[in-house]
Chain A
Amino acid sequence: MASAIILVMVYVAVVLSPLALVVVLHPPIEQSFLYGLGKGFALMGLVILFLQSVLAARLKWVSRPYGFDMVIRYHKYMAGAALFFLLLHPVLLAAGGAGWQLLLSAEKPSIIWLGRAALFLLLLNAVVSVYQGRLNIKFEKWRIMHNVIVPVILLAGFVHARFTGHDLAHLFPLRTHFLVLLVIAFAVFVYHRFIRPARLARTPHQVVEVLPETKDVWTVKMRPPEGTRHFDYLPGQFQFITFRRGRDLPVEEHHWTISSSPTQNFISATIKVLGDFTATIGATRPGDEAVIHAPFGRFSYALHPEEKQLVFIAGGIGVTPLMSMLRHMRDSRKDISVLFFYANKNEADIVFRKELDEIASGEYPRLRLVHVLEEADEGWQGEKGVIDQDMIKRYCDPISGLTFYLCGPPGLIESNFHGLQSLGVEDRQIRLELFTFL
């Protein structure tokens, strides 16, 4: 908790640092308040952009206190903040004395046009990122675009600030400070995108088994490189995997939950066919290579050993982190009570059904399964419909003292998160896995 707060404070301090340098090193200059605010927002907006590469680089010391899924969401919110500050920058300069021709005139020096171009690219990048799904742009293509466009924005923004900004032109320490931040941003980007992947690729895991779980879900089991043990992880964490399979099958990095438990001697990913890439997962064969970057996330009961009464709520393939936790509880004989609401469309879609039944009939953990089907056949003995507030209330009485773990489609998470809040469950007793990064 302390490290989480300290890191946020360090972040704020770094973003504000150029402003502090200007105030300390430079006497007030003849400018209006709005003009000064426009400059301040530009300095902050640029530093936020520099720090984006540090947030996105999956650095352990950055993601450990929060979970990488939370860090990447923070990255998204801060991108919005940078866009807000940088869009206001020319407007405030114009309103503060530079005149509206700054925004409207075509006859401006190229260095002003460079700033305009950087701002346009930033806006374009934000729009494409937010509407990636609706624009029907595949994640891999979006990522390539993001990786190309962002360095251009950083460089253009820096050059624009260096040659137009009064403060950067006059204050050598400020120039140096900005240059150092820019170099750090690029160094982290190069490490994240090129150096670390190359290092991980030297010691790939090997696929040992590919098991069909349902008609469109597969479990891929992998073992670590010869002579090594699998990496340390907590049940419920996730991994980035690049399968290298040859046979003209695509080579792309994707993230999936580690569905195995640390108590098992292999690593597994249980993957649902959801797109072009996952449609090829059934073609994976024993002997294929898997380059793994892991572990990530804080969606794990193991981080809260004091909690003994848990409620799991999952939809479809969202079962995977919860399955990892149940396997870990079973293998390490944890005396924990788990009520598991598991929603699927129909009976054939239930993943891990046999193993779940086995765990429920075993001693550890004390598992009670509540299967919920949208389209149930006649004769179905379980729940029908969707998991909602009323259903949770029926099974969880009293509700106090329970901790909830939610994983699945965004609609299921959102509705049940609000439902639990309405039932009086405190936010800190509700844990979520937000698996989509955009």
Chain B
Amino acid sequence: MTVLKRTSAGVILVLAAGGIIFAALSSDITKADSGAIQGLRIFENNCAGCHFADQEASKRGPGLKNLFARETLPATGRPVTIENVVRQLKEPFKNMPSFVDDLSESEMEAVAGYLETL
């Protein structure tokens, strides 16, 4: 019984240590420490439910892979620019709600900046 408890505690400690090493190796802390909430995180928590980031196929809304390689935004038809993405986040369009109450201007710009990298 003691052996089991010690083994289990050892396994959990090794796993926690693995998580810490993972966090250190997978995070670019220098950039993240800049203070701004990153577009990726905002996307994951607000947008990923309706949009794929890794493919162009539609989920609930259109896939956003290669968005900035396209000429126009899929729904509104406006030119693909940071400003127009931010505008769409502010103004409800068809099924897509406004994020004015949830996201600040800089956070919306961060999301648009993230979409530019896809």
Contacts and interface: CB of A to CB of B under 8 A. Distances in A.
A144 to B, nearest CB: 27
Given A8-B11, A37-B19, A81-B12, A31 B49 contact: no
A112 B46 CA distance: 8
A12 B44 contact: no
Contacts of B27: 28-29, 31-33, 35-36
Given A28-B28, A33-B27, A166-B44, A41 B19 contact: yes
Interface residues of A, number: 57
Main secondary structure of the interface of B (DSSP, over half): helix
Interface stretch (B2-10, B67-75, B82-90): B2-10
A234 interface: no
Which label, helix, strand, loop or mixed, suits the secondary structure of the A interface?
Answer: helix
Contacts of B57: none
B49 A163 contact: yes
A98 B19 CA distance: 19
B80 interface: no
B15 A32 contact: no
A74 B6 CA distance: 11
Interface in A62-118: 66, 70, 73-74, 77-78, 81, 84-85, 93, 97-99, 101-102, 105, 107-112
B63 to A, nearest CB: 11
Nearest to B47: A109
A187 to B, nearest CB: 24
B94 interface: no
Contact of A23 (B14, B22, B32): B22
Contacts of A78: 8, 11
B26 A427 contact: no
Interface of A: 8, 11-12, 15-16, 19, 22-23, 26-37, 39-41, 44, 48, 66, 70, 73-74, 77-78, 81, 84-85, 93, 97-99, 101-102, 105, 107-112, 163-166, 169-170, 417, 427, 432, 434
Question: What 6 pairs across the A-B complex have the smallest Cβ distances?
Answer: A109-B49, A36-B23, A111-B49, A36-B27, A37-B23, A40-B19
